[in-house]
Structure formats: structure tokens, C-alpha cells
Structure 1
Amino acid sequence: MKKEKYNTIGILGATGSVGKKAAKTLMEHTDYKLLLGSRDKNKLETMFDVSDSIKEYVQVDINNKVQLEEFCSRCSMVLNCSGPSEIILEKVALACIERGVHYVDVSGGEKLYELLKTKEDIIRSKKLLFIIACGVYPGLTEIYPKYIIKKYFDLVNSLKFYFTTQGKLSFSSAYDYICGILNKVGKGMKYIDRGCITSVDNNKIQECSLPEPAGSRYCYPIINVEFEKMCQNNNIDEAYFYNTFYNKEDIENAMLIIKDSKRLGKDVLAKNMTGQFVGDSSLRDFTMIYMTCEGIKDNSEIEIEGKMLYQGAGNDISGIVGANVIEIIMDTEPNEHGIYYVTDIISVDSFIDKMNNKGIMFYETIKEYEEGEII
């Protein structure tokens, strides 16, 4: 695939917080022609500068097969930012297969991956590339540890990863959060020990102290399939992934979702949660990744601290992550075809460079290094 001005990137869900950020990121950093799709065309024209000649706006309802396939047929690649992903599932992906278009999804996950795996022979026969889980979590939560491991280590003994975000819940985020709990996505109170999913010794929520602005947070250990796969591919002996919360009650109340969803229904419950602020309301929105990693480099023990802080909600940075994946695909003309999680196919070095170029900085600190140097 050549990087040309007139290659058209389609963005579905362009009026949502994820899609809007993805579109504006591509407008600012590339010259690709963009086809922006939403159920509300007037909202698109109000949200974006109509004077920019490289954009076009299309009204498209994802549930309208004719409209959806017509949209996809006009693109060389589609970035799906629409949601909730639990409702959308493979609808957009199937339209891309039908029309022979490359596909990138900021969401997705194990369920979508398994659905698309049944279509992989067709995807490969049409020489298409499908990449899913290209948001902040999952997505960046696997890219950054892989980057650190590749850059600093010959062997990794232990990884502890903390994810913190705060801001107002969108309907799509709330709906997918509810469905994640109901569908038991991820293995709670688990960690990876010598390649196996293992229960934590103390089945209690622990409080931890993280760098500012997160500060004191309650840590819930959970292993999802994307993080597990990243650990397996990088031979990590022991790994913890902590989703962190400002209030302990936020974790405990999550268990009530199962009861409330049966009484109210998922739609009503998600609407009730929409607009609720998650985190410390006295602070501005932010998303932070913090991790510690221990292992061996040049036969010496080493420990690295890594941190990424973005002054915005998780939906915004998911849009930037999706835009970066689009840029890398367009830049590198990949020969691979099929369905992939983002960490299985994207150059993590190129990805982090692009994030840095957009002002999202990653910082690593060498805590211990007994001999030798890191280049």
C-alpha cells in the first residue's frame, strides 16, 4: 500500500469522542483524504472545518447494510471508532471484507478476534490486513510494555503494570464496561506465574501509591487475553496488570451491575451511568500508565520504571492510538495479511516515536543496573 494523498481513510463514529480525536489527529499530522461517517451528517459539518478539501462527510447508519458497504467501498482503509463494540461486533469488519478494504478497530477484543478468525481465509485471500484492539486499553497497555522489554531487556523476570484513567463515562464506554463484567471479560484477581494464569494469594483489594496525579489508588488485578498474549510472546515469567480506582467502592459497586442489568436492562443501566465522573473530581481528566519491570540485560540485573501521562480522558488517547496505527500501516506497506492484535503486527518503536511526535511523552528510569551500560 503506497502512502499517497488520495488514499482514502474512512472513519466511522467520527462524531464520538474517540472518532473525533482520531480524525483531528490524522488531519493535523497527515495529508490523507478522509471520509468521515456518522448517523448525523449535520453534526459532522458543525464539528469539523468544512473548508478543508481533504475531508468529506457521509451519513451512514452501521445497521444499514447498504449504507455501510457503500461507505466502505469508497475507502482504502476503515478505522472503526463506533460503539458500543459489544453491539457493533463484526458488522463493520464484515462490510470491509465484502468490499475488500483494510480494517482497524480501536476496540474489539477476544470476542471479535474469534469471530474474525473464522473469516481469516477470506481475509488473507483478498490480501487484507485487519487489526483490532487499537485503543488505549487494550492496545497501548500492551504496546508500551513490549516497547520497554524490547528496548531494555534480554530477559524479563517480573512486570507490574498499572492503568489509571478518569473522566466522564460515555454511553459506549458504560455499555462496554457493563458487558465486560456480565461476559466475564478478563480474569479478575489473577496474575501470570510462569506462563499460567494464577489466583493472587490475598483475595483482597490492595491500596497502592502511584506517581502524581494518580496518587493513592485501589488496585484490582486482572488479566485479559491481549495482555496475556503479549506476556507469552515476550517470555515474561511473572506479570501483574492492575486496573486502578480512586474509590474502593467503585470496585465493589461493579459487582452490583450484574443485579442491576437484570432489573433495568443494559441499555437503561448504561444511560444511567453516562456522564458520571470516574475518579477524583477535583482533578482534570487524565490517563496514566505506570509500570515497573525487572530482568536481565547483558548478564546484569536491571529494573526499569516506565510512565506515560496524558492530560485527557481515555477516549481521546484511544483516538490518537488508532490514528497512529493508520499512519504506520500507510508508511510501511506491510506484506502481512490476516487478523491481528495490534502488538502482533505494529512496530512498537515506530508507534512510540509517533506518540512522542504528537506530544505524548513516555519516560523510563533505570532504577538499578549493577554493571555495563544500556545503549
Structure 2
Amino acid sequence: MSHTTTIGVLGGYGAVGGAVVRRLHQNAAASLLVAGRDPSRAEKLVRSLGAGGTLAEPVAVDLAEPVALDRFAARCDLLVNCAGPSYQVLDTVARAALRNGADYVDAAGDDPTYLRLNTDGGTHEWLAGGRVALLSAGALPGLSGILPRYLADIVGSASRLDAYLGGVAPLSPAAAGDVLLSRGPEHGTPGAGWRDGAVRGNSLEPRRGLSLAAFPRPVDAFPFLATEAVRFARARQISEVNWYTAFGGSQLPEQLALSWALGNTARSDLVSAAARDVQRHGTWYGQEFHLWEGSSVEVPSCVLSLACDDSYELSGFMAAAAANAVIAGEVPAGVHFAAEVLKPTEIFQSLTADPVAELSLSSPCGSQ
């Protein structure tokens, strides 16, 4: 784009949206619209950005009001959605972007949104309009699908992946809503692993008190074969994938299990449980990937560990990187998951140079 690109960030003063805005503010070739239902919070964030960087403007937008949403989308060349819960927002904001000729990046989105955008030939609308919809551009899913791709590129012929993702963090109400609603086959399969081209139910058990480099203390790891993991396994033709959600405290997993069992959709219970874990264990987040070249090898060929203090900032890094890739014309038109079209090496190198997280790559993997 030769003119100044206008990037609208919906939910731009939230935990993830604020991180996206602060990063995109460094792009002098763009102007920013910081949008959400509360104009005072948007104004406060804009004031905190200071005089340097790109121009930023607070905008009052309620995504539940179609006219206001369309008016906002019409001002954008690129609309970055950080509003949630994503499983309630679904494709609402994406379709507003398409109607008004804007590209779209979603820090979440995930499979339910992807399926809706591909219903009844929906993806052809994006192709016909030459527009991009980039979904799952956060820490998880998103970066969690890119980092194992980076490892697989190094190894060349991988046979097995073990992944551990999680930690201890406060939950915003929107994030709590997403956690509560992230159930069912469109999200993943509890207790399952990937074996020789198929999902194998009840093939894995929880791993308790696991010590890993990505986490500052032992974690309890629960097997959950996410759809992102299945896409990775199919794309790279890996015969075995073991994908775990890691909890550094006990309150959140216990409350989550109880809420699911009772059909309780109250976000406040989950927010409180996460807060109790944070009070006891602090805030930290990690992702660790173990990759094997051969099935007979006991020790993994590569181990990549990521550790950070704030998963929301990490999602902000990822969404901003996705936005910059779209602006640079690096993403083809159509509806995509971020992990499938962004360049793993570029994301890894950018993350290595960024203070948001610490990365370590084992030898001999790191020397290849």
C-alpha cells in the first residue's frame, strides 16, 4: 500500500489489544484507530503512547451495533480484532471487514470462526475481493503452531512432537469466556494423541509434577490434542504428536473441570480461580516443544523452550507480527490460520530479538 495504512484495533485497550497497539504504534507508515465500547479507556491508552510513533485516534465502537461496526470497518485498511470472547464474536467482525474492503487479523478466531467463514463458499468472497482473513494470530493458537514448524524445518524429517503449553496467568473476563467455551471437536480432543495419521482417543494420561525449562516450577500437564496440533501433524506428516495443556496452579483446572461438569458458564468463577493461582504462584507462561527425528531415538533431537511473564503480551507480539505481514503483502488473499501462512523463521528471529520472551534451542538442534 502506497498511502498511509489505517489499522483499526478493536478491543484496542484490552490486555492483548493494548499490546498490539503499542507495537504497531512504532510503524510510522500507518495510522491507528484504537477502538472499543469504552471511549475513555481508548483515550487513556492513546495518551499513554506519547508523541513518538504513528498517529493514533480513540474510537467508540460496539461490535453488537452493526451500523457502528460497519462505519468503523470502512475507515480501516486492516482491522485487527482483539475483542472477545472470540467464541461469541465468531465471524461478526471479519464479515464487517470484508463488507467494507478491509483485510482482517484475529488474535483468536480459531476453528469456529474459520468454519463459518468457509461456509457456502465464503472463502471465495475473500479471494474475489483480494482480501485477507488471518485467524488464530495469538500465543495459543498461533505462535504455538509456528514454533514447532520452525523446529520441523530445522530437522527436515520429524517423526514425533511433544508440546507443553500453559502456566499461571490472570484471566480477563473475555479470556475466561473463551476458556469455558473451548470444548468440542472443533477445538480438540481431551486425552487424545496423534498416531499414524489419526486421532487416537484415550491414548495419553496426565503428567503430574513435570519439570521443564519453559516453566519456573513443576507443572501438571493434561493431554488435549488441539485442532492446531492435528493440522501441524498432517501438514508435516508427523506420525506421533502428544499435546499437553500445562497448569502451574491447582485452582484453575479444578474450577474449569467443575464448571464444565455443571454446565456453569459464569466467567467470574474462572477469573477468581485464576487469581488465586496467581496470588500463590505468581504470573508466568511457557511453551516447550520436543521434536524427534527417528522413532527409535529416546532423546529428542531438538527442544525449543519459550518462557515469558505475560501471555497477553506474547499474543500482542504475535498479532502485531501478523498485521505487519499482511500490510507488507506477505499473506495471500483468502481465509487462513496464521501458523499456516506466516514464515516460521521470520517469526522465530523476531521473537528472539524481542524482550517479550526468552527462547532457548537445544544442541545439536541449535547448531544446525
Structure-2-length-normalised TM-score = 0.90
* 1:341 to 2:342 alignment: no
Pick the aligned partner of 1:125 from 128, 138, 142: 128
TM-superposition CA deviations, 1:190-225 (whole Å, max 9, x none): 111112111344545544222264321111111111
Quick one: percent identity of the two aligned structures? 20
SS in 2 for 1:156: coil
Cα distance in 1 between the residues matched to 2:105 and 2:203? 38
Give the match for residue 286 of structure 1.
Answer: 284
- Partner residue in 1 for 2:363: 366
Q: How far apart are residue 47 of structure 1 and its match?
A: 2.3
User: CA-atom RMSD, angstroms?
Assistant: 2.4
What is the one-letter code of the residue matched to 1:137? L
Aligned length: 357
Counterpart of 1:176 in structure 2 is: 178
SS in 1 for 2:175: helix
Distance 1:344 1:159 in 2: 17
Any idea what the Cα deviations from partners look like across 1:141-193, whole Å, max 9, x if unmatched?
1111101111x212101111111231211101111111114787310001111
Alpha-carbon offset, residue 374 of structure 1 = 5.0
Secondary structure in structure 2 of the residue aligned to 1:315 = helix
Residue matched to 1:231 = 233
Decide whether aligned partners of structure 1 residues 192 and 277 sit closer, same or farther in structure 2, where only a CA change above 3 A counts: same
| Counterpart AA for 2:196 | R
- Aligned equivalents of 1:86, 1:303: Cα separation in 2: 37
User: What is the deviation of 1:248?
Assistant: 5.2
2: CA distance between counterparts of 1:302 and 1:216?
A: 20
Distance in 2 between residues matched to 1:129 and 1:201, nearest whole Å: 38
Distance 2:96 2:139 in 1: 25
**1:27 matched residue in structure 2:** 25
Secondary structure in 2 aligned to 1:274?
helix
Q: Separation in 2 of the partners of 1:284 and 1:208? A: 18
Q: 1:322 is matched with which residue?
A: 319
Give a deviation string over 1:317-338, Cα, whole Å, max 9, x none: 111110011112223x236211
**Quick check: which one's strand share is greater?**
1
CA gap 1:304/1:24 in 2 versus in 1, 3 angstroms: same
**Secondary structure, counterpart of 2:138 in structure 1:** coil
1:354 aligns with 2:350: yes
Q: Is the contact made by 1:166 and 1:277 (CA closer than 8 Å) also made in structure 2?
A: no
1:243 maps to 2:245: yes
Matches within 5 A, 1:187-336: 187-201=189-203, 203-204=205-206, 206-211=208-213, 213-247=215-249, 250-262=252-264, 266=265, 269-275=266-272, 276-277=274-275, 279=277, 281-295=279-293, 303-312=301-310, 314-331=311-328, 333-334=329-330, 336=332
**Post-superposition shift, 1:346?**
0.8
Looking at structure 1, the residues matched to 315 and 275 of structure 2 have their Cα atoms a distance apart, in angstroms, of 18
Q: 3-state DSSP class of the match of 2:301?
A: strand
Please, what TM-score do these two structures have when normalized by structure 1?
A: 0.88
Using the TM superposition, give the Cα deviation of residue 36 of structure 1 relative to its aligned residue in structure 2, in angstroms.
1.0
* Structure 1 residues 4-54: Cα deviation after superposition (integer angstroms, max 9, x where no partner): 5x1111100012111011101111355421111111111111123275461
Does the C-alpha gap of structure 1 residues 92 and 125 become closer, same or farther in structure 2, counting only changes over 3 Å?
same
Q: Which runs of 5+ in 2 are unaligned?
A: none
Question: What is the letter of the counterpart of residue 6 of structure 2?
Answer: T
Deviates more, 1:52-61 or 1:74-83: 52-61
Distance 2:43 2:28 in 1: 20
| Partner SS state of residue 358, structure 1 | coil
Q: 1:80 to 1:201 in 2, by over 3 A?
A: closer
Runs (5+) with no aligned partner, structure 1: none
Give, in whole Å, the separation in 2 of the partners of 1:308 and 1:29: 26
CA positional deviation for 1:302: 6.6
Larger displacement relative to structure 2 (21-30 or 284-293): 21-30
> Segments of 4+ in structure 1 off by > 6 A?
none
Q: Which amino acid aligns with 1:351?
A: I
Paired residues of 1:120 and 1:338 also in contact (CA < 8 A): yes
Counterpart Cα distance in 2 of 1:247 and 1:56: 39
CA contact (8 A) 1:100 1:128 kept: yes
- Farther-moved stretch of structure 1 (345-354 vs 245-254): 245-254
